[in-house]
Amino acid sequence: MRSPTTPMILAMSLLAGTVASDTRAEDLYVPSQVTTIQAAVAQARVDRLYTNLSKNETIVIHVAAGQYVETLPIVLDVPNMRLEGATVLATDSRGIPTGSVNAAETRIVAKPALAGYNTNSLLIIGPTGTDLTGNGVTVQGLVLDAGNAGNAVGGLDILVDRVANFSIRRNIISGAAGLGVDARAASGVIEDNFIVGNGAGSSMAAGNKSSPASYWFRKNRVVNNKSEGVGVCGSNLGGSNPVLLPVAPGTVFDSLTAVISGNDVRDNNQYPSFTSGIRLMVIVPTIPVPQAAGNLSVSVTNNTIANNALGVSIDAGFPDRSDPRLWTGNLRVSFDGNSISGSKLTPALITFVRNNAATQPSQPKYWKYLQDSTFTISDPNGDLDGYWFDHPAIDPIDGRFLENVLVVNGLAIPNGRNFK
């Protein structure tokens, strides 16, 4: 039987994947050699498939400073390819981006602005064919702008779907996108980015044995996002963007491992009852039938989590009460070395229902409590001190006996709640 992947092993393996040889098969230059980014990707696609370029060597697309308005989405399906802009980010003493650009920037902007959700993206990393897997793609040195100028929330700056060894680093991810980074059933690294002013800064969702979900989210600055800065989901929407290979009906994505380390997550507080710095959840919206469960294992270490409505939310996600399914899940998380301060509502909320259903009396009629679920939390140094918990024995709306288990530092927490 295969041994489970621990968050520490995950971090080491992902780091090893980021320092592989940078031997290049080809360099393409935009706009001096190829006029558009789309044309450069199309050339890389042809060269990868139909020339003698080694699969072990990287194709690098260099995009000069300037503003690019492209036909969208730009689909990055070429294996072992790097899309590299000229943007250079200033950093603080910890090496975390401050958001200022200390050199000319490479900006990809949506015109018209992105709207909707799943079908509208600036960049998509994912598979379109047997040989166009999207594995090993890197995106770096770009300003990604959904085009909403802070006035709306729509689309995705980057969608990452069913790929291995992706890397998103040293970018500014902005423009009031619905999600800055939306990673699903994928394995890779999101690091050294400045993620600002979106609906959710980054979402990492579950995979399965065929498409494992293993993420390392490190040294990012995540600020002023509406619903959460960093979201981690133990399930998955289950569908795919129309430009990618389809997901087979009945596919279940229900497992995830993640490391969230060394980030600065602050000022995510637009909605006082639920906006979270870091949110760990079980059930995503529109989870496909017949799936009704999610599982996640997460390590949260050495982050600065400041001035959010909820510093950390550990909750059910979106267990829709109008859906006849009965929702369940298992969540295991460890905290160490985090600084949580200035939270508007509570440093941390732990609940077996959607977070705002625990904090707003009008909401439980819309959201079910999980049942037969276990949340296991390790917090040996009290990073979550002052946390609120909501752990009823019975669902207050439908009367189900829930049989959930909440364990904090090895101690079972009795049914009840410790806040009004």
Q: Domain count of the chain?
A: 1
Burial class (CB in 10 A: 0-12, 13-18, 19+), 420: exposed
What confidence score (pLDDT) does residue 76 get?
98
Residue 391: give its domain's CATH number.
2.160.20
Find, among 162, 182, 169, 166, the residue nearest to 225 by Cα. Answer: 182
Residue range(s) defining the domain that contains residue 361: 7-417
Q: What is the 3-state secondary structure (H, E, C) of 176-214?
A: CCCEEEEEECCEEEEECCEEECCCEEEEEECECCCCCCE
Residue 133 is assigned to a structural domain of this protein:
yes
CB proximity list for 265: less than 8 A, separation 6 or greater: 201, 221, 222, 223, 229, 230, 277, 278, 303, 304, 305, 306, 308
Catalogue the E-assigned strands of 220-285.
221-223, 228-233, 256-261, 264-266, 276-283
Residue 43 is assigned to a structural domain of this protein:
yes
What confidence score (pLDDT) does residue 99 get?
85
Q: Which pTM was predicted?
A: 0.94
Burial class (CB in 10 A: 0-12, 13-18, 19+), 43: middle
What confidence score (pLDDT) does residue 37 get?
98
Instruction: Supply the DSSP symbol for 73.
Output: -
What confidence score (pLDDT) does residue 69 get?
98
What confidence score (pLDDT) does residue 149 get?
85
What confidence score (pLDDT) does residue 15 get?
47
| Sign for the pseudo-dihedral over CA of 126, 132, 136, 140 | negative
Find, among 304, 384, 319, the residue nearest to 349 by Cα. Answer: 384
The Cα-based distances of 90 to 87, 169, 192 in angstroms read 10, 13, 10
Q: Please give the Cα distance from 344 to 237 (Å, whole number).
A: 30
Q: What is the pLDDT of residues 161-206, one digit of tens each?
A: 999 999 999 999 999 999 999 999 999 999 999 999 999 999 999 9
What confidence score (pLDDT) does residue 145 get?
96
Q: Helix (H) and strand (E) counts for the chain?
A: 3, 35
Residue 1 is assigned to a structural domain of this protein:
no
Q: What is the pLDDT of residues 395-411, one digit of tens each?
A: 999 999 999 999 999 99
Q: Low-confidence residues of the chain, pLDDT below 70?
A: 1-24, 117-119
Find, among 127, 129, 179, the residue nearest to 155 by Cα. Answer: 179
